[in-house]
Amino acid sequence: MTLDRRQVLAVTLLPLAAAPRAQATPESLQAAITAYAGGAEIRDGRVAIEIAELVENGNAVPLAVQVAGVAAGQLRRVAVFTSHNPQPEVAVFHFSPRFAGRARVDTRIRLATSQRVLALATLADGSVWRAQADVLVTLAACVEG
């Protein structure tokens, strides 16, 4: 039996197209956030997320997280989480106590689909602060096949 080109493509690509995408569940997102906070109360404020509300391509989305009202050396960590990427924890940035620069992180992240992006900051006193932003993605990234 010989297969023509269309039959070969149908047999090889159809399972990939039908396969469900892996994504974080609300439970896995909450577990990742709880693990990051280490039992501390998570409060809104002090953290600001700069990200476009509408993103054409989810492969390299510019993101900035800034923490306001933090004295030199008081910022310990900044973490970024997403609600629908395959893994909820995108990145964790650690700051030395000797860090005296701006309390800001600039990076690019991948977004699998339209979703909520969360940023959490841990300060030297153990407090954890949060901000979140919803992003509409027209061309998804992080597609597993």
Is 9 inside any structural domain?
A: yes
The residue segments making up the domain with residue 15 are: 5-139
Place of tokens 């995408």: 21
Is 144 inside any structural domain?
A: no
The bridge status of strand 89-94 relative to strand 115-123 is unpaired
Is residue 64 within 8 A of residue 49, CB to CB? The reply is: yes
- What's the chain's average pLDDT? 86
pLDDT, residue 1, reads: 62
CATH of the domain at 41: 2.60.40.2470
Is 66 inside any structural domain?
A: yes
pLDDT, residue 16, reads: 46
Residue among 23, 49, 41 nearest 33 (CA) = 41
- Least reliable range by pLDDT among 9-18, 27-36, 122-131: 9-18
Is 75 inside any structural domain?
A: yes
Q: What is the pLDDT of residues 60-75, one digit of tens each?
A: 999 999 999 998 889 9
Decide if pLDDT at 122 tops 90.
yes
Is 145 inside any structural domain?
A: no
Instruction: Give the Cα separation of 56 and 112 in Å (integer).
Output: 12
Is 71 inside any structural domain?
A: yes
Is residue 54 within 8 A of residue 101, CB to CB? The reply is: no
How many domains does the chain fold into?
1
Residue among 109, 119, 37 nearest 78 (CA) = 119
Instruction: Give the Cα separation of 38 and 108 in Å (integer).
Output: 26
